Amino acid sequence: MKYSKLQKQAMMLIERLPKKKLKAAIDYMTYLYDKEAWDATHELASDAEIVKSLERAEADEKAGRLKSWADVKRDV
């Protein structure tokens, strides 16, 4: 089924829901949205190469080896 058709069907159903069920639907949609973001975060956190890179970046920040975005823009 096409994305636009799915959206229309979802909107039609949402418009018909009573308030209590609408709240439950919103909670479930929020869960689905947040779960996708957490899955992506977990995937990145499971990559040893990315974890090492983030650790180096944190060390660079603590050591003052990073430039602010304003300084970078000014240098361009």
**pTM of the full structure:** 0.50
pLDDT tier, 75 (very low <50, low <70, confident <90, very high otherwise): confident
- Using one digit for the tens of pLDDT, what is the confidence trace for 14-54? 999 999 999 999 999 999 999 998 998 999 889 999 999 99
Instruction: Provide the b/e sequence for 30-64 (b: ≥16 CB within 10 Å).
Output: eeeeeeeeeeeeeeeeeeeeeeeeeeeeeeeeeee
Q: How far is CA 11 from CA 31, 32, 36, 37, 47, in A?
A: 18, 17, 21, 23, 38
pLDDT beyond 90 at 3: yes
The two tokens of residue 60 are 């660079």
The residue extents of the domains of the chain are: 18-75
